[in-house]
Structure 1
């Protein structure tokens, strides 16, 4: 242990990673920068550049690993971010930290950069982040609007499916992976009035979403605007609309299409959008699995679905 702590590259790597990452996160937390390119792309790269400039890259990498682990652990313990957010961000952060260190190693190889343990010199890349972050916030402040749809076919009539999904007393079925490790788990949905303008409130572990009905055709369509939501964390995510579309198939079954429209401040979109889609699809799957379970309990197995009136 003494040998490890006595290595200057190891100690400086811990100091650099914690200082850079925590400063960036504090700026993000106080809305001084955006959830965008500066934070998720430039900050890890400049941190990696500073790490790669240290004399011993072997001990620098070890110090970086320790610093990153401490940073993420403090975020989780302090409930500043959830496990889902950390796991989603980890691949891009680690990859770009390594990329930044490789840039420094290449510069040293071509004698464009020298080894350094001077903190003033090592901090220079961070000023690039500080200069670009306000520009990034100004250019990328508008959230993106995205719609995600999931489909399930159920051996019941549209009227039967509609009756079971419009209001749900208890959601209790097998949880997909992301719900087991921290994605909000829906518990029940209460429909106050079954008419245009009526409210439907869905309760989650740690919050709720309130929806107002904007279009309603029993057994055909249930369309709602999200008017408020209170979920733990996730300030970068907003909800706009929820739609259930019921279609009768040629075989007398129901094709149920669930669409969630949401907004996201996270960038780059090429990285975040597929992950957001997976998360929402798992939420949909949990609702679908519970719906199938409720339908099986409500209607005797083998009974013929009735056509909607």
Structure 2
């Protein structure tokens, strides 16, 4: 029993560590091979155990150790880890189920399997799949636009004056920002003209924007020409914009858009989570803007 437990921990840690090293050094991408196929293999190998419950607990413990090392080693943030866990756990569970079905209906075949082969061969298949996926999707990233809006009881010019440049952002933080989603601290606009730079400083980095369209109280549109944020190698930023709509009676609808690129697969899973993260940053900016406008009336 102890050997089953120890072997399951060692196998998971070795496989996950090798997979992450390949990912970190660009040999495979942030795709199906790492987030789905590798954990599926770990689950599949768990099914080889004669004492499955012990083996499964060993894999779960090794997953916990792996994620803790990633976080405290500064290799990945808490938000990224939490987002990845459901996908990885589901893939592991699927691997366990598939192995159970094979063992149940093909028992004579599975009893003849060599333990080394049944462990190493799946990992070699992962390597082939990972390298192939990296080549097929090389330099391929999705471009996504996320838009949020808020209605404020102020004129478009008043809203524009308080968002073009922000000395200090200090508002109630949404859930993901309380973990480790980048927190904007201030935004500095060099000049109010097309071509001027606007730099937003974050806790742990900055984003540099160049104004491409500017009509005071109507639109502020920018290309993102540089970004330096901790981690997030799979995420890129392209454009940001504010549109100020006069909806009458002293009210303004502010529309905030962020255009970004992502290299994460499968897209059906990551798209929603990425959108939530960016919308929470929009929400934080809106809350701070509302506070600044309220202070103006005092």
Shared fold (TM-score, shorter chain, > 0.5):
yes
Change (3 A) 1:214 1:115: farther
Of 140, 146, 149, which residue of structure 1 is paired with 2:147? Answer: 149
Of 118, 122, 142, which residue of structure 2 is paired with 1:121? Answer: 118
Give TM-score scaled by structure 2 length.
0.96
| Aligned equivalent of 2:136 | 139
| Aligned equivalent of 2:260 | 262
* TM alignment of 1:224-263, pairs within 5 A: 224-263=222-261
- 1:45-82 deviation digits (Å, cap 9, x = unpaired): 11111111111101101111111111111111111111
Q: Is residue 55–residue 115 contact of structure 1 (8 Å, CA) maintained in 2?
A: no
Q: Is residue 55–residue 116 contact of structure 1 (8 Å, CA) maintained in 2?
A: no
Confirm or deny that 1:33 pairs with 2:28: yes
Give the whole-Å Cα distance in 1 for the aligned partners of 2:100 and 2:135: 33
Give TM-score scaled by structure 1 length.
0.93
Of 205-214 and 41-50, deviating more is 41-50
Confirm or deny that 1:201 pairs with 2:199: yes
Secondary structure of 2:98 counterpart: helix
| Aligned equivalent of 2:92 | 97
| Aligned equivalent of 2:158 | 160
| Aligned equivalent of 1:82 | 77
Give the whole-Å Cα distance in 1 for the aligned partners of 2:44 and 2:125: 11
Change (3 A) 1:261 1:11: same
Q: Is residue 82–residue 182 contact of structure 1 (8 Å, CA) maintained in 2?
A: yes
Of 124-133 and 172-181, deviating more is 124-133
Q: How far apart are 1:35 and its partner, in Å?
A: 0.6
| Aligned equivalent of 1:49 | 44
Secondary structure of 1:122 counterpart: helix
Change (3 A) 1:15 1:117: farther
* TM alignment of 1:176-195, pairs within 5 A: 176-195=174-193
Give the whole-Å Cα distance in 2 for the aligned partners of 1:242 and 1:133: 33
Task: Return 5+ residue gaps in structure 1 as ranges.
Answer: 1-5, 301-309
Q: Is residue 148–residue 277 contact of structure 1 (8 Å, CA) maintained in 2?
A: yes
Task: Return 5+ residue gaps in structure 2 as ranges.
Answer: none
Give the whole-Å Cα distance in 1 for the aligned partners of 2:16 and 2:31: 15
Of 68, 77, 82, which residue of structure 2 is paired with 1:73? Answer: 68
| Aligned equivalent of 2:288 | 290
Give the whole-Å Cα distance in 2 for the aligned partners of 1:87 and 1:184: 15
- 1:91-113 deviation digits (Å, cap 9, x = unpaired): 00011111101111111001242
Give the whole-Å Cα distance in 2 for the aligned partners of 1:117 and 1:168: 64
